[in-house]
Amino acid sequence: MVRNTKPKLEIVQHTRSFKTSKRITPNRLSQDFYSMKNITVIGSGTMGNGIAHLFAQQGFAVSLVDLSPEQLSMALTTISKNMDRQVTKGTLSESQKMAALQRIQTHTDLAMAVVQADLVVEAATENLEIKLELFRQLDQLAPATAVLASNTSSISITQIAAVTKRPAQVIGMHFMNPVPVMKLVEVIQGYATSAETTSQIMQLALQLDKVAVEVQDYPGFVANRILMPMINEAIYTLFEGVAGVSEIDTVMKLGMAHPMGPLQLADFIGLDVCLSILSVLQEGFGNPKYAPCPLLRTMVAAGFKGVKTGEGFYCYPAGTKDFTVSSRFSK
């Protein structure tokens, strides 16, 4: 059952058969859950800094890891600016913001960053080999009791778990961008993930004031299995000349009440990320219906990846606030 009202500390957990469900209430929470205090976030890009922001704001001690001090410093600036939005709106006080920022420590040394971790959330690059190698290292470096989670948008949790010696403690924790704003956490149970780990993470998501939905580990999980074909179809609609960029997005925004049209959303997610997820769906299901539109492939090959490169279906000369349809698509 998925609720869109403010979550209470109570969840309904579906079994693998999806036919029965069990209710978890506070008096059945494991002690381990309550002792989760130290969170290590790997990767300080858009998703990583959003995840660090969220945990720090909710009172957790956060170790944020990336390859260089420059990346980490940029991430802290972004987190501070995003918290300023909340301060301006009055949902966070200046002192709460300062306290949250002080809870974030930055590291370039993975071993140091995970030494006390109760939970590691990996939000590094979506490259299979890099991710597998990272999880091999995390398995060696993190305390034996730590849960290892990945924010992957499409890589198999089962495959990631299989390179560790603790597959029962490996899980998917898929946040949505922008992390501090979007209510959903898709919790992905790998083939070997234990029910206890899943329950711990479902409860933790509630503590973060998110709505957690438990799903099984199949390509694209639920979010991207449904979202990406819609985005791909929007790109095909443009490619085939059925309508222009703003017309397609307007239909979906005003006709279906989506906050962003699918082409703008593709730019926001990153066209390279969309291409990679569609390729995982196509390969994983062996079904040509997921084949990425040739226009998407061409744009990614040319380096037009959306907001992050300044141009995709739209141009973003001054960031996401001020954008116009790319001249390549204007009539």
Binding span for ligand CAA by CB under 6 A among 92-100, 115-123, 171-179, 282-290: 171-179
Residue 199 interacts with ligand CAA (CB under 6 A): yes or no: no
Q: How, if at all, do strands 38-42 and 61-65 pair?
A: parallel
x/- string (CB under 6 A) for ligand CAA, residues 139-158? Answer: --------------x-----
- Burial class of 28 by CB neighbour count within 10 A (0 to 12, 13 to 18, 19+): exposed
Residue 260 interacts with ligand CAA (CB under 6 A): yes or no: yes
Q: Does the annotation count 153 as an active-site position?
A: yes
CB of 256 to ligand CAA, least distance (A): 13
Catalytic residue among 126, 186, 214, 311: 186
Q: Does the annotation count 14 as an active-site position?
A: no
Residue 285 structure tokens: 């299901």
CB of 169 to ligand CAA, least distance (A): 23
Catalytic residue among 150, 224, 232, 326: 224
- Please identify, using beta-carbon distances, which residue of 64 and 265 lies nearer to ligand CAA: 265
> What DSSP element (H or E) covers 120?
strand 119-122
Q: CA torsion angle for 230, 235, 239, 242 (degrees, to 10)?
A: 50
Nearby residues of 173 by Cβ (< 8 Å), 6 or more positions away: 121, 149, 150, 151, 185, 187, 188, 201, 205
Query: Which residue's CB comes closest to ligand CAA?
Result: 153
Residue 45 interacts with ligand CAA (CB under 6 A): yes or no: no
Residue 265 interacts with ligand CAA (CB under 6 A): yes or no: yes
| 3 state SS of 171 | strand
Nearby residues of 64 by Cβ (< 8 Å), 6 or more positions away: 40, 41, 44, 48, 49, 52, 72, 75, 104, 105, 106, 107, 113
Residue 183 interacts with ligand CAA (CB under 6 A): yes or no: no
Cα dist from 232 to 60, 65, 155, 236, whole Å = 38, 33, 19, 6
Q: Return the DSSP state at 326.
A: -
Catalytic residue among 38, 63, 153, 199: 153
Sign of CA dihedral 284, 285, 290, 291: positive
Q: Does the annotation count 224 as an active-site position?
A: yes
Considering CB under 6 A, how many residues would be counted as binding ligand CAA? 17
Q: Enumerate the β-bridge partners of residue 319.
A: 317
Q: Does the annotation count 186 as an active-site position?
A: yes
Catalytic residue among 174, 214, 232, 246: 174
Task: Give, as ranges, the residues between 281 and 320 that touch ligand CAA (CB under 6 A).
Answer: none
Among 58, 177, 207, 282, binds ligand CAA (CB under 6 A): 177
Residues identified as active-site? 153, 174, 186, 224
Residues that bind ligand CAA (CB under 6 A): 82, 85-86, 89, 153, 176-178, 180-182, 223-224, 259-260, 265, 269
